Homo-oligomer: A and B are copies of this chain.
Amino acid sequence: MSMNIAVFGLGSMGYGMARCCLRAGNTVHGFDVMAEHVARFIAEGGRNGTVADAALTMDAVVVVVLNAAQVESVLFGDDGIVPRLRPGAVVMACATVPPEFAKQMEQRCAAHAVLYLDAPISGGSVKAGEGRLGVMASGSAAAFDAARPVLDATAETVFHLGDAAGAGSAMKAVNQLLAGVHIATMAEALTFGMTQGIKPETFVEVITKCAGNSWMLENRAPHVVAGDYTPHSQVNIWPKDLGIVLEAARASGFQAHLTETALAQYKRAVEMGLGREDDAAIAKVYARAAGLVLPEDQT
């Protein structure tokens, strides 16, 4: 059963998801502010055109943009797609956004008889390209049903976290708290180890087999060892995502001490001009403060 799908945001995650939707036999319209992303997608069999034209035939709209402001713009901005969608179409919203914002979007979509799946994603660009993402999803049964073909094409695991928007984004915030703190902790431990005579490659070799390991350490520490800060996931993501955590925490009277500490380190990284580097570059904040020289760090 072929669907008409629009994907907004053809970055490292959205591009992979759009391609997976194509491969599954759907008609896929791709939108992105970067013309070269769109051109690349059309060369692979994707479509483009105007949002107004596309909206008429869409069954599902997948939003894989950077933040809440971009989600709102795509859905309800001047050229917003939601008011033009047919009743029963579904918006699958994959950006990391505040849980409260997801609830508002669900309500505003409902006013247009459009379904909304709160569906933040996890797994990185490689898994996105393979259709093996984890999706932390919440929404009505009708929203899950309508989004099913997209979920089947893009996800390895779909977590059903509740019957209304907000729960998916809440779980994503929890995951980002952990992931963001773990990357910073990897950086702290790797550079501390250097002060004690432990080489970064020895650190990775030993710790990945010990109780100090984390998913993020195993994934990111090799970037530091290689001195390769090609942005698989940018430093800039963390002030935003940890900001979402702290905003939700504050509203609940919760003190997230480690999140605050990690956020301060990411902010220092941004101030040092590292915002567009891979987030493993937070190691440079520690290294420079302690006068350490990281492997092949040529910046």
Contact = CB atoms under 8 A, between A and B. Distances in A.
Contacts of A185: 177-178, 181-182, 185, 258
B170 A254 contact: no
Interface in A131-159: 134, 136, 157, 159
A170 B182 contact: no
A293 to B, nearest CB: 14
Interface of A: 99, 122-124, 134, 136, 157, 159, 161-162, 166-167, 170-171, 173-179, 181-182, 184-186, 188-189, 191-193, 195-198, 202-203, 205-207, 209-217, 219, 245, 248-249, 252-262, 264-265, 286, 289-291
A221 B24 CA distance: 38
A174 B157 contact: no
A164 to B, nearest CB: 10
A253 B159 CA distance: 45
6 contacts: A175-B211, A185-B185, A188-B257, A192-B249, A253-B291, A258-B258
Contacts of A99: 196
Contact of A213 (B173, B181, B215, B253): B215
Given A258-B262, A291-B253, A193 B171 contact: yes
Main secondary structure of the interface of A (DSSP, over half): helix
Contacts of A215: 210-214
Contacts of A260: 261
A159 B211 contact: no
Contacts of A289: 254-255
A207 B262 CA distance: 19
Given A206-B159, A215-B214, A291-B253, A258 B193 contact: no
Given A182-B182, A257-B265, A261-B258, A188 B196 contact: no
Contacts of A184: 258
A206 B289 CA distance: 36
A191 B157 CA distance: 24
Nearest to A178: B212
A197 B210 contact: no
